[in-house]
Amino acid sequence: MEERLDQLLAGRAEEIVRAGFAGVRERWWWERSLDGGLRICQELDPEQLARELAARAGRSPGEAGEAVRQELGLDDLAPVVLTFEIPGTATPEEATRLLQERSSGPRGLAEDLYGRLLRRLS
């Protein structure tokens, strides 16, 4: 029988997360989900994101902030937590691959969001 995440002890699960979700500069942490899988959580400060986008796209911070707010469906620009879950039925190899895909850039879980917003504002 193949090894699955829901069969792993915390130490082994942490090794998989640390090896797979590397290179992300934003604050993040991981948790076990109820089914024994992994949940990656990452802070996102929409206000900071708007400032970065405004500077890069040559737009006003207000315009960038409105784009961020609309894209995320927020009422305001208060910090939020992005999450990504891997089910407990996943193998360690599958989990590592998924984690590497989600940490392919320094913004981690927000990488695709940043790209979409930058294209929208450019």
For 45-68, the pLDDT digits (tens) are 999 999 999 999 999 999 999 999
110-116 mean pLDDT: 97
Q: Which residues neighbour 35 within 8 Å (Cβ) at sequence distance 6 or greater?
A: 6, 87, 88, 89
Residue 39 in this model has a pLDDT that exceeds 90: yes
Residue 1 in this model has a pLDDT that exceeds 90: no
Angle, CA 79 vertex, CA 33 and CA 56 arms, to 5°: 115
3-11 mean pLDDT: 95
**Cα–Cα distance for residue pair 108/60, rounded to 1 Å:** 25
Give 102's pLDDT tier (boundaries 50, 70, 90): very high
pTM for this predicted structure:
0.90
Residue 10 in this model has a pLDDT that exceeds 80: yes
